[in-house]
Amino acid sequence: THGTFTLNNGVKMPALGFGTFASEGNPGETYRAAKCALDVGYRHLDCAWFYQNEGEVGEAIKDFLKEQDGKVKREDLFICTKVWNHLHEPEEVEWSLKDSLKKLQLSYVDLFLIHWPIAAERTEDYQPKIGADGKYIIKKALTEDPTPTWRALEKLQDEGLTRAIGVSNFTIPNLQQLLKVARIPPTVNQIEIHPFLPQVDLINFCQKNNILPVAYSPLGSQNQVPSTGEKVSENPVLKSVAEKAGRPLAQILISWGIGRGYPVLPKSSNPARIKSNFEAYVLNDEERKEVDGVAKLAQGGRHDRFVNMKDTFGYDVWPEENKA
């Protein structure tokens, strides 16, 4: 298999995880994808309160474990979930994890993350509150100082509702600020990483500080078109590495990420691709160098980021990247 990484608190995390965000959002899509992933051997599922499908993930886990009849147990799985922006007040963080656990039908998760470094207002029924401009209503104080939010995550770990805590979409300054106040330091920073967004500085910072980077969209979202007009799946160098290896490009990208030293979270709702993405392939030095070469070109200041929520949030996490 793909092996595991060990978090700074000793907890082991499978290097290949399955992303459960369902872009289509059709009923049953997440259940089928998550069940298929578990059946073909994935033991790490990446979930989030925001994905609105934890109930389906929970059903998939329940049915899978039942069918396994003790051959695979809850302890053999690694389940991550995240708290969304509008639930950053300490009591809301607790509400969020308990709501996720209920939907997932679990008594604990393995990892619980702050999804974005942004706190926002909620409605009475715990939905994000949208302002007159159609954007989130940012809570300035809690965004500028997330200490109360982090204290709530620490408490949930103390109580055994999660085995580890971490963050997602944090920048270097966000992490520096958090490291200063954390009693329990973050174990991971889950961020977008692929050859068009190699994140060299942020990865170096994480590794120096004992924080494991975790890659979402490791396939470069395959068919989304970045600013340059060239899709990851159409890059001639990447295509030729895959062709020469006789492997799908996705396997090349998965191996490249794990080889750089972090877990990767590809997602798919297609059973054949879910299965194919789980097939381990290890890049040789020459293949690795060719993919590194593509990443090197992207490092020169181009930011082909596929996930940027600034229009939804009305808040820019990466202002330095968006100077017109």
Q: Which residues are near ligand A2P by CB under 6 A?
A: 19, 217-222, 248, 250, 266-270, 273, 276-277
Q: Which is nearer to ligand A2P, 123 or 240 (CB)?
A: 240
Question: What's the rounded Cα separation, in Å, for the pair 180 and 300?
Answer: 30
- Cβ of residue 293: shortest distance to ligand A2P, in angstroms? 20
DSSP annotation string for 43-87:
-EEE--GGGS-HHHHHHHHHHHHHHHTTSS-GGG-EEEEEE-GGG
- Cβ of residue 37: shortest distance to ligand A2P, in angstroms? 11
Q: Which is nearer to ligand A2P, 178 or 254 (CB)?
A: 254
Q: Are 65 and 38 in contact (CB under 8 A)?
A: no
Question: What's the rounded Cα separation, in Å, for the pair 180 and 150?
Answer: 12
Q: Which is nearer to ligand A2P, 33 or 165 (CB)?
A: 33
Query: Is 262 an annotated catalytic residue?
Result: no
Backbone angles phi, psi at 166, to 5 degrees: -165, -165
Burial class from Cβ neighbours inside 10 Å (0-12, 13-18, 19+) for residue 217 reads buried
Catalytic residue, chosen from 31, 51, 216, 315, is 51
Q: Which is nearer to ligand A2P, 255 or 277 (CB)?
A: 277
Question: What's the rounded Cα separation, in Å, for the pair 125 and 134?
Answer: 18
Question: What's the rounded Cα separation, in Å, for the pair 320 and 324?
Answer: 10
- Cβ of residue 277: shortest distance to ligand A2P, in angstroms? 5
Burial class from Cβ neighbours inside 10 Å (0-12, 13-18, 19+) for residue 23 reads exposed
Q: Which is nearer to ligand A2P, 142 or 241 (CB)?
A: 241
Annotated binding residue 86? no
- Cβ of residue 15: shortest distance to ligand A2P, in angstroms? 15
- Cβ of residue 135: shortest distance to ligand A2P, in angstroms? 24
Residue 241: HSE in the Cβ half-sphere, 13 Å Cα cutoff: 27
H or E stretch including 114? strand 111-114
- Rg of the chain over Cα atoms, rounded to whole angstroms, equals 19
Active site residues: 51
Binding-site residue set: 115
Binding-site residue positions for substrate: 115
